[in-house]
Amino acid sequence: MLSQGFVSAAAIAASVLFILSLGGLSNQEKAKRAVWYGIIGMAVAVFFTAFGPGIGGYWLMIPMIIIGAIIGTRLARRVEMTEMPQLVAALHSFVGLAAVFVAWSADLERRRVLAARAADGVMQDFSAFAALLAHKAPDELMFLQVEVVLGIFIGAVTFTGSVVAFGKLAGKVDGKPRQLPGGHLLNAAAAVLSLLLAIFYLNGAGFWTLLLLAALAFFIGYHLIMGIGGADMPVVVSMLNSYSGWAAAAIGFTLSNDLLIVTGALVGSSGAILSYIMCKAMNRNFVNVILGGFGGSQGPAAEIEGEQVAIDASGVASALNDADSVIIVPGYGMAVAQAQTAVSDLVRKLRAAGKEVRFAIHPVAGRLPGHMNVLLAEAKVPYDIVLEMDEINDDFASTDVVIVIGSNDIVNPAAQEDPNSPIAGMPVLKVWEAKQVFISKRGQGTGYSGIENPLFYKDNSRMFYGDARESLTALLPMVD
């Protein structure tokens, strides 16, 4: 059994490692080292927490840790980069559900302590947590109740919201925003009832209040995320990340675990900041997004004229051979087709021919912030040719060829031209200003968000239909 001094020192060390990990993830070149900081920090946190003072039940804990490690390792090996967004959503749901269970357990232990005090003050067979509660004053136990309420509410919203997000990202749930009759009023009513139940609980009501509170929060999480469309899913992922952090922090206070408080606060604050950045990149109001599109655009979308004109691999190759400058815009379609390696091969061939090749990355490309950057780094694309939207958006007008691979909303001119579009006002990559635009796409569908794209009908655009990896593989031999 380790002393409290060792545990406190380990908590500080792990916190520093987590901060270094978050800081390093902002840079592609430092990202791998940053991930190792996080891994080491978590290993330190788990070890020193498990063997700290007052911890027991190793006959159950150690097998659970081993089983969890095996499952985690198998999932990590099986999950493709294309499935990372839904994996992140699933992991958020685990944190939320754990917060609910811990909060319920904490209140049951609190009730046992109060019952013992009311009887004869003798405490037998109490857990280490209950023994800790036994030394708390009545006002401290009241504060514990506030922590329990917050843990249950935030955790339950995170759990069902993350489950729905997983379903939408995995294509198992329709990506279009859907709500029950009553819409936002149902969410508001559930929130008011949750507040009333919290007040009843804090004033001495029974455990049933916490069960009903969890049920209402489960509904809010489900209904809230169901009402958010696919175009806003990158914000949803970062928002749920923030929720899971605050749920962990609330439970950290409940368990008097400093490391859980610090870690939860880091995750919660970084997720909130990232959500704000995503909303700013999409010209979205953060409150509107998390309320399921409340106050969105009104009126019919503009009519689109013309037709989508297809082109084959030889036509695209001919344009690339004649071009001096090329910009590639990757999207989730590239991830689905696992075409990043083929894209990297194409880039090397074009650069060897003396052509200027760059990548344009929109802040919300893919279904997870930074998704495209990770895929391109995995395919060993040089960092210096991967540019953010603000760095390259003014260069499209002087570019010969743009290749869009599986993107829709981030290259949709309706964001600037149609005030009634669901993505009106969202900053987009102005690819249509280039001399020629080739869009690699499986078919003529509207894509994940269900929003039609006028880019596909413009005179300088051609549709390069087919699986992205197969299309690029067929293209490679024709490029000089």
Q: Output the six-digit token pair for 39.
A: 């891994």
Say which of 232, 409, 418, 467 is annotated catalytic: 409
CB 322 within 8 A of CB 344: no
Q: Output the six-digit token pair for 150.
A: 């917050």
Tell how many helices (H) and how many strands (E) occur in the chain: 18, 6
Q: Which residues contact 302 (CB under 8 A, 6 or more apart)?
A: 414, 417, 418, 420, 421, 454
d(CA 227, CA 290): 9
Q: Residue 450, SS3?
A: coil
d(CA 418, CA 302): 6
Contacts made by residues 273-281, CB under 8 angstroms, sequence distance 24+: 274/238, 274/241, 274/242, 274/369, 275/235, 275/238, 275/239, 275/242, 277/363, 277/369, 278/234, 278/235, 278/238, 278/363, 278/364, 278/369, 279/235, 281/362, 281/363, 281/364, 281/389, 281/427
The Cβ of residue 410 has, within 10 Å, a number of other Cβ atoms equal to 29
d(CA 121, CA 83): 54
Taking the CA atoms of residue 395, residue 396, residue 400 and residue 403 in that order, the dihedral angle to the nearest 10 degrees is 130
- Angle CA 241–247–248, to nearest 5: 90
Q: Could you tell me where the DSSP H helices lie in 121-207?
A: 128-134, 138-169, 184-202
Is 400 among the catalytic positions? Answer: no
CB 462 within 8 A of CB 438: yes
Residues assigned a catalytic role = 409
